[in-house]
Structure 1
Amino acid sequence: MQGGHSEVTSGEVTKEKVGCLLCAQQFDVMEMQDDLLRHLLLQHKLVIADVKLVAHFKKYLDYWRQRFKDAAITEFCSVIKTNTKETDVEPEESYYLLCDALPEDKNLRVRLQQEKLHFDGSSVYVRILAAAPKKTLQFTMSLL
Structure 2
Amino acid sequence: MTTKPSVLFVCVHNAGRSQMAAGYLQALSGGRVEVLSAGSAPKDQINPVAIEAMAEEGIDIAANVPKILTTEAVRDSDVVITMGCGDACPVFPGKRYEDWELEDPAGKDLETVRRVRDDIRSRVEALLAEIAPSA
TM-score, L = length of structure 2: 0.31
Larger Rg: 1
Question: Higher helix fraction: Structure 1 or Structure 2?
Answer: 1
